[in-house]
Structure 1
């Protein structure tokens, strides 16, 4: 098993679930991935659930909080590590995006801000705090890929390039274009263009991929636990993957990579 990997600036490194039914979600993810969970009481912000690979000592892989507004859909938010939150928020605004929640320190957990790109896909930015160094990524049972679904790929390329310094490298994939976001020679995420095959009501969004040992077994187990499998297990170049919504409606994907370093080559 590869060692835990802490993300560098510009990389996805934390994910946060906003759920209308936290206990349902907690049961689903602990049963599906074998995660351990515990709850922190953050002064001024209420309860925050931590998911870890082991016990209360970590390592931390994800967080969860109650959905603040019932009018909003349940969702996973992908956070990207940055050096300076305010500088990054300024770049978001300069690129046509919005600040949804200003930079906020969460009592040692870390400092985070929530943003929205010009198309309406929300994402987070974060710097680690004293309580956790940051979530681990790119090992089994953790997030190993973050993917943007965009209806205006060219605009997204300009925006995220300006905010994170990513380079967009396009490749043909079964007749459509798939974009790899790169820092230097490393892929940090991807983007799929939302064409006419997508339902018109689907908004642009980010989705996390979780590394699993057996995609077929995991998808079947997810269905048993109440998930809805949207894309059954299928082979793609990086591995075998499946997309689903959890029992509360949040979208996620699982993948069994073809090589031991995960899908983000």
Structure 2
């Protein structure tokens, strides 16, 4: 399970790239019990979603030409520059070279060899998210990949992840990834990886990471989201042994998921 006792390779930050910050803030603060706090006049519009004064995620403008709205997970690193070298050595690409973010920390953004975007955060004054695993906070990260086997090899090289594959029937396999020291024994799962079915690939789906936010009522939260302009990709559905989940796109098209229950099947 996710915790805020971050170790290398565990998710420690999450932000949304949005074409309209004000619209994104209006959407997510209507769906969740979140407030928005600007990072200040020198932050280029970047700011923090908070719940009860604790940071649960962040939002900023799209920084790349032609970039699509998306949530980006960041994984803990003790050395962003060394992680850059590992990413490039494993066949990934650099989207944003390691850079200092004032005194908060050092960040970098990459794409894995299948095209999924992610980042790393080397803590400074800001260790990472203040809270996870509570209602309306990050509780799981998930990768849909056009080549799950290649993605697994890549992340093992970069972050030393290990995996447990689980059959979901109909030849579908769900992989839970774990990180050394990333949780209690028997409860170390940090996220999942799924192979995109061929029909999805034929329809234009690409590799992408998306977050799961915990909810006490998946159906009610989904209804609030659609009322605020979200599009439903997977309606509220019971997943045996996991919980009740839904997947949506926000009003700008960034995918995210909701879950009531424990996503850690590991």
Q: Same fold (TM over 0.5)?
A: yes
Partner of 1:7: 6
Normalized against structure 1, the TM-score is what? 0.91
Which residue, 72, 95, 100 being the options, matches 1:77? Answer: 72
Which residue, 43, 46, 49 being the options, matches 2:47? Answer: 49
Q: Is the 8 A contact 1:22 1:64 kept in 2?
A: yes
Task: Note the C-alpha offset of 1:108.
Answer: 2.6
- Determine the C-alpha separation between the residues in 2 that align with 1:162 and 1:70: 29
Task: Note the C-alpha offset of 1:78.
Answer: 0.7
The alignment's C-alpha RMSD in Å is 1.8
Normalized against structure 2, the TM-score is what? 0.90
Q: Is the 8 A contact 2:90 2:154 kept in 1?
A: yes
Is 1:95 aligned to residue 90 of structure 2?
A: yes
Q: Is the 8 A contact 2:246 2:258 kept in 1?
A: yes
Partner of 1:180: 176
Q: Is the 8 A contact 1:150 1:191 kept in 2?
A: yes
Q: Is the 8 A contact 1:42 1:106 kept in 2?
A: no
Greater shift after overlay, 175-184 or 153-162? 175-184
CA 1:39–1:52: 2 relative to 1, 3 Å: same
Partner of 1:144: 139
Aligned length: 255
- Determine the C-alpha separation between the residues in 2 that align with 1:159 and 1:199: 20
Partner of 1:194: 196
Is 1:214 aligned to residue 209 of structure 2?
A: no
Task: Note the C-alpha offset of 1:133.
Answer: 2.7
Task: Note the C-alpha offset of 1:42.
Answer: 6.1
- Determine the C-alpha separation between the residues in 2 that align with 1:183 and 1:69: 30
Structure 1: give runs of 5+ residues left out of the alignment.
none
Partner of 1:66: 61
Is 1:256 aligned to residue 250 of structure 2?
A: no
Is 1:169 aligned to residue 164 of structure 2?
A: yes
Task: Note the C-alpha offset of 1:104.
Answer: 1.0
Which residue, 227, 237, 240 being the options, matches 1:224? Answer: 227
